[in-house]
Amino acid sequence: MIILNIVLAIFIILETFNLLVLYFRPSMKQANGIGVFNAWNKSKKDPEIHSFIKYLAYWVAGTKLIIISLLLVILILAEPTLKIVAVGVLALTITSFYWKMSPIIKQMDSDGNVSPSGYHKTLSLIIVVITLALSLSALFAYINLV
């Protein structure tokens, strides 16, 4: 269970950094900031579009805040079985990236709409690593629990 707690805590920390970037420095290209999208800077020329994009960025940040808060409650208070199931579900739902978002970012990358070039590969790799870490830690905790 210790490994599961560590992996979950690391995930919470990473998501917290992304949350802070989205709220306070959305134009960053690190920590999954939206500055990687060339449209971010282009949108500044149109206040209506830029406000809409900022609104969506803050919406994502707010959603991350809800998830981080729930994960902290799970990390601190959940019984082992619930913690294992929650981390497994988290890993599974993270893979939803590949359903709709991955094809879009891949196309945007090939069209030269993100910077640096190849960002979709980096993002896909990060998601694979996070998903594997969560899945394997949940599996390891389950094996040790049974």
Query: Per residue in 12-26, pLDDT tens?
Result: 999 999 999 999 999
In the prediction, which pLDDT does 68 show?
A: 98
**pLDDT classification of 31: cutoffs 50, 70, 90:** confident
H helix runs in 25-118, sequence order: 38-43, 47-77, 80-94, 97-110
How many angstroms separate the CA atoms of 60 and 43, rounded?
18
Average pLDDT over residues 77-99: 96
Number of independent structural domains in the chain? 1
Q: At which residue do the structure tokens 């959603």 appear? A: 63
Q: Which domain does 103 fall in, by range?
A: 2-145
